Structure 1
Amino acid sequence: MSLDVPAALLERAEAGRVDDAEFVDCVRQSLPYAWSVVSQVAAEAQSGTAEFADHAVPPPSEAERGQLLRALASDAIRGGLERHFGVKFAFQNCHRVAAFKLSAVGGEIYQEFISPVAQLRNQSPELRDC
């Protein structure tokens, strides 16, 4: 299971009444490692002058890597996090997370980061099975 959903939130979801704040709080509580990574890069991206900030440190365990995968592979979770933090997330190699200022999305640096060429350049034998 990706998220630990409280019964009351699940009832509201079944009725079609869940707002972004409740959803994002559920993500924060369910995926604490992923939350720490995305909140860190989002804060750095928003506070700095660069177009993006990134985190490229491999997670300490497979459990934390799984949290990143669940958070960033789910359109709903990623979208909720992007709306909450006001950034666009990009993801490479099962652990490299970048947060782009919305003004940078579509620009040259963003396009390079999400390109197949960048993905290939960021490969290494030790990351093959990550």
Structure 2
Amino acid sequence: MSLTVPEELVRKAQDGAMTDDEFLACVQNSLPYAWSVVERLVKEFKDGATVAEDGTVPPNDKAWGELLRFAASDSMRGAVERKYGVRLAFQNCCKTGMFAPGATAEYDEFVSPRAQILNQKPELINC
């Protein structure tokens, strides 16, 4: 299961009354390591960056799993993108990029096959 969802949030979702902020609070509570990656990237944006990358290798299997679940979810990624006005991209489960809407060349490079190949490392074989 990707998220631990409180019953109240399930009811709101059933009623069509759930907000992105409520959803993101659930993501933050359920996937604290993955959310810490988002926070690191957002901090760089607040410091004026138009591109931020995080390549921190997760410290344990639980953290790897969180980042994988986050990376694999269009809804989680989309909610973060809407909240912060950015684009997210993943080369693998431990290389995350956050891009300002105008940083199209940088985004295109990050998601290119070339960048994917250059990001491969033996220690990430199970990533």
Q: Fold-level match, TM-score > 0.5?
A: yes
Q: Is residue 54–residue 96 contact of structure 2 (8 Å, CA) maintained in 1?
A: yes
Q: Is residue 65–residue 94 contact of structure 1 (8 Å, CA) maintained in 2?
A: yes
- Report the TM-score, using the length of structure 1 for normalisation: 0.90
Residue-by-residue CA offset, 1:1-25 (whole Å, 9 max, x unaligned): 1111111110111222211111111
CA distance in 2, matches of 1:66, 1:86: 26
Aligned-CA RMSD value: 1.3
Q: Is residue 71–residue 93 contact of structure 2 (8 Å, CA) maintained in 1?
A: no
Q: Is residue 46–residue 101 contact of structure 1 (8 Å, CA) maintained in 2?
A: no
CA distance in 1, matches of 2:117, 2:21: 36
Matched-pair identity in %: 47
- Report the TM-score, using the length of structure 2 for normalisation: 0.92
SS at match of 1:103: coil
Aligned-pair CA distance for 1:47: 2.2
User: Aligned partner of 2:32: which letter?
Assistant: P
Segments of structure 2 that go 5 or more residues without pairing to the other structure are: none
CA distance in 1, matches of 2:59, 2:15: 38
Aligned residues between the structures: 127
Aligned residue for 1:20? 20
CA distance in 2, matches of 1:58, 1:31: 16
CA distance in 2, matches of 1:95, 1:118: 14
